[in-house]
Amino acid sequence: MTVSVLVVDDSGFFRKRLTEILTSSGQIKVVGAATNGREGVELAEKLRPDVITMDYEMPVMDGITAVREIMRKRPTPVLMFSSLTYEGARVTLDALEAGAVDFLPKNFEEIARDNSQLQKILIDRILDVARSRPGNKAAPAAPGPSAPAGRESSPALRSRTAPVERPRSALRERPATQAPVGDPEAGRRPVRRGPARHYAVVGIGTSTGGPVALQRVLTALPASFPAPLVLVQHMPASFTPAFAERLNKLCQIEVRQAEDGDVLRPGLALLAPGGKQMMIENRSGQARVRILPGDERLNYKPCVDVTFGSLARSFPGKTLGVILTGMGSDGKEGCRLMKQSGSDVWSQDEKSSVIYGMPMAVAKAGLTDEVLSLDDIGPRLIEGVS
């Protein structure tokens, strides 16, 4: 099956180069090109492509506004092209929140060593994005509490409901069925939930769709959340500082990029820095972060398997691992180590995942104790972690 693509970019050179690379695969057909966001919105309705590639800085209408319009009129998977700078990160995160599925650096030299590698990366990413679920965003809710002291208020924060009362009610009202670990239907239906447990740490791993998913999970948690959290999001080194800063402004818990030697503590979420590996060491009863150079032998920097494996060793039987939306299977082996140590694993369900890759790999391997919709994960953490 051929995937149809609409290219939206004000650079004629970039439109031509991208079109040449994509059409060379034989699996992708570029059905149109637009020079600004307004044209992109109009052509998206007219041509109905499977995927749209979008620049963010364009005349007439910028890429973020165009994504919002496309998601409002005809939701379509959008792949953003951005610069690997702090400002580029900020804008890209805005685009992801607006409904874009994923992003790539616009400078091709930054994502590939040669043309053959570049071609494979671009084509694979387009095909993956074509299989995604665009616009998997929270439904509007009644106004919630104001931002915590010292934090900036935002539409995302103002729109969420109170972090405990609504979700717990919703969980009680939803019928639960049992799905034992290893059940092939585990990824398709909810499971019976047990009482709250004490966890030494909660680890959350994610990739494509993760920035928005993490925001929705973490903004549900109160400042008094009783466990430390470690977060692994597949993301470039230039993006993770902006992402951590964004989450910290939106959340009641504290969120920041992890640094070597950081001590884990309740109510603090530490985000693995892009381009490196984050491990947790537990010595003499004190857990500290170790930040290591990215290993070229590993596809992901940071890697969920690496971090989760270190959690399994440091806190056997006392860790909760959570796998959210993402391509591939990173996190599966880390979750296996957690399960072997007696710890618990939750995963996001297929319906609410932008890409049902990572959580599917964990569920199919029989490693998932609970399968949850994205909107239930934050409330379930409140209810299930003591």
CA atoms within 13 A on the CB side of 198: 0
Q: Is 234 a catalytic residue?
A: yes
DSSP helix/strand/coil, 28: strand
Q: What is the separation of C-alpha 344 from the centre of its chain, rounded to a whole number of angstroms?
A: 21
For residue 49, count CB atoms less than 10 angstroms from its CB and return exposed for 0-12, middle for 13-18, buried for 19 or more. buried
Among 102, 330, 344, 349, the active-site one is 330
Q: Which tokens sit at 156? A: 């995302």
Among 9, 94, 234, 349, the active-site one is 234
Asked if residue 208 lies in contact with residue 128, where contact means CB atoms within 8 angstroms, the answer is: yes
Whole-angstrom Cα distance, residue 368 to residue 358?
A: 12
Query: Per the omega criterion (within 30 degrees of 0), is the bond before 59 cis?
Result: no
Q: Is 207 a catalytic residue?
A: yes
Pairing of β 254-257 and β 268-271: parallel
Structure letter (DSSP) for residue 316: T
Q: Is 114 a catalytic residue?
A: no
Start-to-end Cα distance in the chain: 49
List, in sequence order, every beta strand (DSSP E) within the chain. Answer: 3-8, 28-34, 51-55, 78-82, 102-105, 201-206, 229-233, 254-257, 268-271, 276-283, 286-293, 319-323, 344-348, 370-372
DSSP helix/strand/coil, 123: helix
For 130, residues 6+ apart whose C-beta sits below 8 A from its C-beta are 3, 50, 51, 77
Cα–Cα nearest to 99, from 78, 118, 125, 130: 78
Phi, psi of 195 (to 5 degrees): -70, 170
Residue 250 CB neighbours (<10 A): 22
Catalytic residue annotation = 207, 234, 330
